[in-house]
Chains A and B, each alone.
Chain A
Amino acid sequence: GNSVTQMEGPVTLSEEAFLTINCTYTATGYPSLFWYVQYPGEGLQLLLKATKADDKGSNKGFEATYRKETTSFHLEKGSVQVSDSAVYFCALFSGYSTLTFGKGTMLLVSP
């Protein structure tokens, strides 16, 4: 079956630091990959996505590249801000099933 593994948090960084949140997956076929962000007390928002190998999704300074050879979709940002503090979920979608989520990684950015 499908599964998503992402690094456990919390990840604690100072403002303007470089961010990497690792995500690897197991899936049949050729899934689409997503990063969702959840701000405190809110639902999930799509941050970025990639639908095929070597695609790079990007949004709000965040990037992730679909690496089929390593089955990874690591999230990166060159300079984080306090407002980026949130929980980040890596997810995959394959076929007509629902999304498969990782357990989420909390990011805490201090001034």
Chain B
Amino acid sequence: GAVVSQHPSRVICKSGTSVKIECRSLDFQATTMFWYRQFPKKSLMLMATSNEGSKATYEQGVEKDKFLINHASLTLSTLTVTSAHPEDSSFYICSARDPGATLNTEAFFGQGTRLTVV
């Protein structure tokens, strides 16, 4: 099946710095990718929908200036956590759907990135 690769898998950064997380679709072109955040013992919270060549669509309550999303090519979306603070520590997961696949198909998920801000 299609593969989505996310990098890095773990990152520790100092408070106030910025961190970039990459999400790549390895064998298909993804016009749309999704970024989720997972809190401890909580489900996945959709943060934003990343659209190739246009602005991302953010969910209510997600700060656009805090979580910058860039979908510059059909195989790469990046999430940058700017001026990170300890409360941004979380598990971030991206996903993508293969537009060439049939309707109502599953999404493919990256491995996730554990961000720890100290």
Interface residues of A (CB under 8 A from B): 31-32, 34, 36, 41-46, 49, 51, 89, 93-94, 98-99, 101-104, 106
Contact = CB atoms under 8 A, between A and B. Distances in A.
A31 B109 contact: no
23 contacts: A32-B104, A32-B105, A32-B106, A42-B111, A43-B6, A43-B93, A44-B93, A44-B109, A46-B1, A46-B108, A49-B106, A89-B43, A89-B44, A93-B107, A94-B104, A98-B46, A98-B107, A101-B43, A103-B42, A103-B43, A104-B43, A104-B44, A106-B41
B85 interface: no
Contacts of A102: 43
Contacts, number: 50
Nearest to A34: B106
Given A34-B106, A49-B106, A43 B42 contact: no
